[in-house]
């Protein structure tokens, strides 16, 4: 992460654009603000960006249409700003291929953590060859990224907290590879208060309980000596 990430921020509120630019620049990122979809398209062709932060509620052409258009242009990671409580917007956005979302009014630090996590993920797997999967199946369980939900083998939803979901996605996307505690810590940062170290262990033990994976003799999420976890299962993408 030596290069400064360049972010295209699309939001119709001038104050938010400016403040967000200042905030992200304070955290060593480069920001180009855009007021609406038209300006975003103009800036898109004029520059090169690592990630787009996109408000879905834009005057004129909607953020969803803009995201759809961007997806036809490149695999650039997109973090959506959705209106609080508008579940349908969020689901459509994630189905369109946005990488993550933050509900407005968002916590700036949480947004920063999401941007970093998405950038890291993009850096690891880029260039991205496959589109975001509609579902990830492992050991009888199914993860649906668009709805951020986990289904058990009987297709019954097993509720997860936001942190547990992020953790599980990270483990599933890198199945059979060891994730260090540091990587997992990054995922949870901005999600919750309190000591992160303990939060990882707590979240893993809760995940094991929900996946009916016996903590003493875990088969699905295995603890790796030296500090890390691995999901031991084959993942089918659909």
Residue 20 vs 76, nearer CB to another protein = 20
Q: State the minimum distance, in angstroms, from the CB of residue 199 to another protein.
A: 8
- Residue matched to tokens 């303990």: 198
CB-CB contact of 233 with 139 (8 Å)? yes
Instruction: Check residue 161 for interaction with another protein (CB under 8 A).
Output: yes
Q: How would DSSP label each residue in 115-139?
A: HHHHHHHHHHHPSP-SPPPS-EEET
- Which residues inside 110-139 make contact with another protein, applying CB under 8 A? none
Comparing CA positions, the residue from 163, 168, 174 lying closest to residue 151 is 168
* Cβ-based nearer residue to another protein, 2 or 15: 15
Residues 6+ apart with CB under 8 A from 58: 10, 11, 12, 36, 37, 66
Q: Which CB atom, from 3 or from 155, has the smaller least distance to another protein?
A: 155
Which CB sits closer to another protein, 88 or 129? 88
Site for another protein in 181-210 (CB under 8 A): 192-194, 199, 206, 210
Residue 19 binds to another protein (criterion: CB under 8 A): yes
Q: How far apart are CA 149 and CA 143, in angstroms?
A: 6
Among 49, 101, 106, 229, binds another protein (CB under 8 A): 106
Tell me, residue by residue from 28 to 67, as one string, x for binding to another protein by CB under 8 A and - for no binding. ----------------------------------------
Kindly report the number of other CB atoms within 10 A of residue 79's CB atom. 23
Site membership for another protein, residue 84 (CB under 8 A): yes
214 binds another protein (CB under 8 A): no
- What strands lie across the sheet with 221-224, from one edge to the other? 179-180, 228-231, 221-224
**Residue 1 touching another protein (CB under 8 A):** no
- How near is the Cβ of 160 to another protein at its closest, in Å? 7
Token pair 């939900």 is at which residue?
149
Element holding 97 (H helix, E strand): none
Site stretch for another protein (CB under 8 A), options 32-40, 42-50, 105-113, 229-237: 105-113
């Amino acid at each position: 992460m030596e290069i400064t990430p360049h972010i295209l921020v699309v939001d119709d509120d001038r104050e938010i654009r400016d403040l967000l630019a200042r905030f992200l620049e304070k955290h060593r990122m480069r920001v180009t603000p855009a007021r609406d979809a038209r300006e975003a398209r103009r800036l898109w062709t004029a520059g090169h960006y690592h990630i787009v932060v996109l408000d879905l509620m834009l005057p004129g052409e909607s953020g969803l249409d803009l995201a759809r258009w961007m997806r036809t242009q490149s695999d650039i990671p997109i973090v959506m700003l959705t209106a609080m409580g508008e579940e349908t917007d969020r689901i459509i956005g994630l189905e369109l291929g946005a990488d993550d979302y933050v509900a407005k009014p968002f916590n700036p630090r949480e947004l920063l953590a999401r941007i970093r996590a998405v950038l890291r993920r993009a850096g690891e797997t880029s260039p991205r060859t496959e589109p975001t999967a509609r579902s990830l199946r492992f050991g009888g369980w199914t993860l649906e990224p668009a709805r951020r939900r986990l289904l058990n083998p009987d297709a019954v939803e097993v509720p997860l907290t936001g942190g547990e979901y992020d953790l599980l996605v990270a483990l599933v996307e890198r199945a059979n590879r060891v994730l260090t505690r540091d990587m997992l810590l990054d995922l949870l940062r901005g999600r919750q208060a309190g000591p992160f170290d303990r939060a990882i262990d707590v979240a893993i033990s809760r995940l094991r309980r929900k996946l009916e994976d016996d903590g003493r003799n875990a088969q699905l999420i295995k603890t790796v000596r030296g500090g890390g976890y691995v999901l031991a299962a084959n993942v089918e993408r659909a």
